[in-house]
Structure 1
Amino acid sequence: MDYTVVGAGAGVAVLLVVVLVLWRRRSSSARQSKQAHDAAQEREPPVGLGETYEFGVTEFADHHSGDRVAVGKVEGFVVFTEDIPKRVSEGDVIRATITSFNRDKTSADAIFEGAA
């Protein structure tokens, strides 16, 4: 019996099992993400027009106008805040007033009111 061939076959089988496990895990993660996205699409926004909220800046993005906007979340709801001073950094807590929602009410735009 050629043990080299048997060993190689066993190695391929183990590799196949590892690939299948990783693929299922990633598929499960994608499914959970899709379910969370669908649930967010169906809920009412936790913020109101004209209301002011405090939240942390998680990142900065470029607005379609070319301006820098701060991105943060209120109860998991994404808020894009305009008129951010240069001194504001990721991790800073800011106050912002909600000015509008996107078409599906899955995010909102806001105006910077100050640092918290």
Structure 2
Amino acid sequence: MIPSSPVTVVAATAVVLLVLIGIVRRVRGPSNEARESKRAHEAAQEREPPVEIGETYEFGVTELTDHHSGNEVAVGKVEGFVVFTEDIPNGIGKGDVIRAKVLSFNEGRTSADATFVTEA
């Protein structure tokens, strides 16, 4: 038998625990947050968007993110409907209230792209 050092035993135990945690997570399935996000997405696909192309809406910025355009955009919601707003000026951040003009709907009409009009 090969003698084991305490460090080797601790390392082996940690690896076994990590593998077990991974198995349990995979068996349990997606998190509550992931399930709720999927339900919200499916519900959004079934309803008419609460915004219209060409109209301007006022909403709070919930986050700034990189969009498929490659630029940073402000993300906000109008009646729970996600609006990605481009051409935001420097200094706009989470919590700011802005006005944006809706330009187009994204695939599935579950969100829209807009352009910044003014800070509210």
Residue 13 of structure 1 aligns with which residue?
none
Residues 71-105 of structure 1: CA deviation (Å, up to 9, x unaligned): 00000000000000011111000000000001210
Amino-acid identity (%): 70
Q: Partner residue of 1:54?
A: 58
Q: CA deviation at 1:62?
A: 1.0
Match of 2:70, SS? coil
TM-score by length of 2: 0.69
Cα deviation code 1:35-94 (max 9, x no counterpart): 333211100000000000000000011123321100000000000000000111110000
**Counterparts of 1:67 and 1:95 in 2: how far apart (Å)?**
18
Match of 2:72 among 68, 73, 78: 68
**Moved runs in structure 1, 4+ residues, more than 2 A?**
26-37, 63-66
Give 1:71-86 correspondences, 5 Å limit. 71-86=75-90
Going from structure 1 to structure 2, the CA distance change for 1:28 and 1:69 (only over 3 Å counts) comes to closer
Q: Is residue 2:111 matched to residue 1:107? A: yes
Taking structure 1 as the reference length, the TM-score comes to 0.71
The size of the alignment, in residue pairs, is 94
Partner of 2:16 in structure 1?
A: none
